[in-house]
């Protein structure tokens, strides 16, 4: 019996493996309704070094016109379009938020904040002292810098186009609920005020003494459970919430309502983490796809949602498959830049790079269990359609291989590893067969992996089964 195997798919490992054991790491689904194969699983783009700083991490990148501001290891830097570097000032180590009004850059840290003149790079520390409380979020809308007071329901704003002038009477509290404000975001010309349990959407409706008011009916009964998880992606707004104080899920704004984008199995997995309040997220676009990448630092995991296909995958770095090294992104003069959470390196996303700054990563795809009405299946052999001829001329990847393991009990344990060549350069026989697999059980699961730094595309798979009744 010849049967198609769902080699193309995302990450959806259920807590009961017999229901679903799917995993997908460092690969994403491509849909092509025109070609001969409607779907394929492609390697995520690699990372090539764009710039290196003598710092322990890259904490945030923010573009203003032709300049890129970078917070790294307690310092603020500026790059120009020729990658020339200027150190602007010392800032606090840790989480940083930035926004600008076209004339000034406001940098918010946990204990201090800084106002940078974008023309002269002159820095004022703690403007509005006694009014602004450091450690909250920042936003910009219609000339106003906007900040939140940590742990309170209060939003404050500056004088229009002047981040040095703040008045203690210029503030507003969340209108509908006494819900501490966790994050701010300006989206579609509106101010989104995220509480822990609810979200309000405000519009600019009045003079500087009271410029913002709640849009009638624009209150969502889901707040922001992780202040650093809010990101704009693919023309939409996303964040991590806990509807009804249940499991953590990614929420997408659809108009002035919220849609949940995390399947139950993934949400349950996240709920087992010691905390999800530390979640950090950013977005990026690649090859027609819009991705939302969310990392849980304490749990050491990164998950990625593709808004183009609606499919989740996981991102890992190094051969140990720890969390993805990416911690922030910026689009700068045609490059998608990614900052490293563990060292002061800025990468550019590169489709022709098959590692991350010279460090290998593992690609992995685990299929859903194959069933046959409760009867045992014997997987005698299988055929895999891939892109062939991708091996390198020399070095690691010269003899690039696909590794296959078979589980006969739904992914609880695995048999030995089988290897097949992806083909040297020019060898475009894009078909490989695995024999003597020994997969004999009621729930057969296949795991494919590649560790070589080469281009990878899994296109289709077929299994040759024998049906047994014992």
User: What is the rounded distance in angstroms from the CA atom of residue 395 to the CA atom of residue 398?
Assistant: 6
pLDDT band at 25, cuts 50/70/90? Answer: very high
Q: How far is CA 183 from CA 154, 179, 351, 411, 470, in A?
A: 11, 12, 34, 40, 58
Q: Assess if residue 294 is contained within a domain.
A: no
Q: Assess if residue 420 is contained within a domain.
A: yes
Q: Which of 329, 350, 371 is the last residue of a domain?
A: 350
Q: Assess if residue 393 is contained within a domain.
A: yes
pLDDT at 94: 87
| Tokens standing for residue 34 | 């025109």
Q: Assess if residue 272 is contained within a domain.
A: no
Number of other residues whose CB lies within 10 A of the CB of residue 182: 26
Q: Taking Cα atoms as reference points, which of 50, 61, 24 lies closest to residue 39?
A: 24
Judgement on whether residues 219 and 368 belong to the same structural domain of the protein = no
Q: Which of 322, 350, 378 is the last residue of a domain?
A: 350
Q: What is the CATH number of the domain that holds 172?
A: 2.120.10.30
Determine the structural domain holding residue 389 and report its residue range. Answer: 2-45+363-468
Burial 324-342 (b: 16+ CB within 10 A, else e): bbbbbbbebeebbbbbbbe
Judgement on whether residues 41 and 51 belong to the same structural domain of the protein = no
pLDDT at 256: 87
Judgement on whether residues 157 and 31 belong to the same structural domain of the protein = no
Judgement on whether residues 20 and 162 belong to the same structural domain of the protein = no
Q: Assess if residue 239 is contained within a domain.
A: no
Q: Give 26-38 as a DSSP string.
A: SEEEEE-SSSSSS
Judgement on whether residues 67 and 96 belong to the same structural domain of the protein = yes
* Residue-averaged pLDDT of the chain: 92
Among the residue ranges 224-228, 321-325, 436-440, 441-445, the one predicted with the least confidence is: 436-440
Q: Assess if residue 223 is contained within a domain.
A: yes
pLDDT at 244: 83
The H or E element containing residue 449 is: strand 445-450
Residue entry with tokens 């006494």: 178
Among the residue ranges 1-10, 92-101, 153-162, 360-369, the one predicted with the least confidence is: 1-10
User: What is the rounded distance in angstroms from the CA atom of residue 108 to the CA atom of residue 189?
Assistant: 22
Q: What is the CATH number of the domain that holds 404?
A: 2.60.120
Q: Which of 350, 375, 397 is the last residue of a domain?
A: 350
**DSSP letter, residue 243:** G
Judgement on whether residues 460 and 319 belong to the same structural domain of the protein = no
Q: Is the pLDDT of residue 6 over 60?
A: yes
Judgement on whether residues 24 and 51 belong to the same structural domain of the protein = no
Judgement on whether residues 70 and 160 belong to the same structural domain of the protein = yes
Q: Assess if residue 277 is contained within a domain.
A: no
Q: Assess if residue 309 is contained within a domain.
A: no
Residue entry with tokens 């106002």: 115
pLDDT band at 427, cuts 50/70/90? Answer: low
Q: Is the pLDDT of residue 34 over 80?
A: no
Judgement on whether residues 23 and 150 belong to the same structural domain of the protein = no
Judgement on whether residues 326 and 457 belong to the same structural domain of the protein = no
Asked whether 355 and 46 are in contact (CB, 8 A), the reply is yes
User: What is the rounded distance in angstroms from the CA atom of residue 7 to the CA atom of residue 367?
Assistant: 6
Residue entry with tokens 């500056």: 158
Asked whether 390 and 424 are in contact (CB, 8 A), the reply is no
Number of other residues whose CB lies within 10 A of the CB of residue 54: 9
Judgement on whether residues 15 and 34 belong to the same structural domain of the protein = yes
Bridge partners for 439 per DSSP: 379
321 exposure class (CB count in 10 Å sphere: 0-12, 13-18, 19+): middle
Among the residue ranges 205-209, 246-250, 466-470, the one predicted with the least confidence is: 466-470
Look at strands 212-220 and 199-204 and give their pairing. antiparallel
Judgement on whether residues 19 and 149 belong to the same structural domain of the protein = no
pTM of this structure: 0.95
Could you give the number of structural domains in the chain? 2
Among the residue ranges 68-72, 98-102, 246-250, 464-468, the one predicted with the least confidence is: 464-468
Q: Give 270-326 as a DSSP string.
A: HHTSS-STT-EEEEEEETTEEEEEEEETTTTEEEEEETTTTEEEEEEETTTTEE-SE
């Amino acid at each position: 019996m010849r049967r198609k195997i769902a080699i193309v798919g995302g990450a959806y490992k259920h807590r009961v493996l017999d229901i679903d054991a799917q995993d997908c790491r460092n690969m994403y689904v491509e849909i092509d309704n025109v070609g001969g194969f409607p779907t394929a699983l492609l390697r995520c783009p690699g990372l090539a070094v764009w710039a290196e700083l003598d710092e322990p991490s890259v904490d945030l990148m923010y573009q203003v016109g032709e300049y890129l501001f970078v917070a790294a290891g307690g310092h603020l830097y500026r790059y120009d379009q020729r990658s020339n570097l200027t150190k602007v000032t010392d800032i606090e180590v840790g989480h940083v938020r930035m926004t600008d009004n076209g004339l000034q850059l406001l940098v918010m840290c946990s204990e201090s904040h800084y106002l940078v003149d974008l023309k002269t790079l002159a820095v004022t520390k703690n403007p509005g002292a006694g009014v602004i409380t450091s450690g909250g979020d920042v936003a910009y809308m219609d000339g106003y810098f906007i900040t939140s007071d940590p742990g309170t329901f209060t939003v404050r704003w500056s004088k229009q186009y002047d981040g040095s002038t703040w008045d203690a009477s210029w503030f507003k509290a969340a209108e509908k609920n006494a819900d501490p404000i966790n994050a701010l975001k300006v989206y579609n010309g509106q101010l989104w005020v995220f509480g822990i349990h609810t979200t309000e959407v405000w519009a600019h409706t009045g003079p500087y003494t009271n410029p913002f008011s709640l849009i009638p009916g624009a209150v969502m009964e889901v707040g922001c459970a992780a202040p650093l998880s809010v990101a704009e992606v693919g023309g939409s707004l996303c964040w991590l919430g806990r509807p009804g104080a249940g499991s953590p899920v990614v929420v997408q704004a659809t108009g002035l309502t919220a849609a949940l984008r995390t399947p139950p199995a993934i949400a349950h997995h996240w709920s087992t983490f010691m905390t999800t309040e530390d979640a950090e997220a950013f977005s990026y676009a690649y090859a027609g796809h819009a991705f939302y990448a969310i990392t849980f630092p304490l749990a050491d995991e990164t998950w990625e949602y593709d808004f183009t296909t609606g499919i989740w995958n996981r991102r890992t770095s190094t051969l140990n498959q720890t969390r993805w090294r990416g911690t922030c992104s910026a689009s700068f003069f045609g490059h998608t830049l990614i900052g490293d959470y563990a060292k002061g390196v800025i990468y550019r996303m590169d489709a022709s790079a098959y590692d991350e700054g010279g460090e290998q990563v593992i690609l992995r795809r685990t299929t859903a269990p194959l069933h046959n009405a409760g009867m045992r299946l014997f997987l005698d052999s299988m055929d895999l359609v891939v892109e062939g001829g991708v091996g390198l001329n020399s070095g690691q990847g010269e003899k690039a291989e696909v590794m296959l393991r078979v589980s006969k009990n739904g992914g609880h344990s695995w048999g030995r590893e089988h290897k097949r060549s992806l083909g040297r350069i020019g060898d475009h026989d894009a078909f490989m067969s695995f024999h003597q697999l020994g997969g004999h059980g009621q729930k057969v699961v296949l795991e494919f992996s590649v560790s070589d730094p080469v281009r990878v595309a899994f296109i289709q798979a077929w299994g040759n089964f024998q049906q047994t009744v014992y």
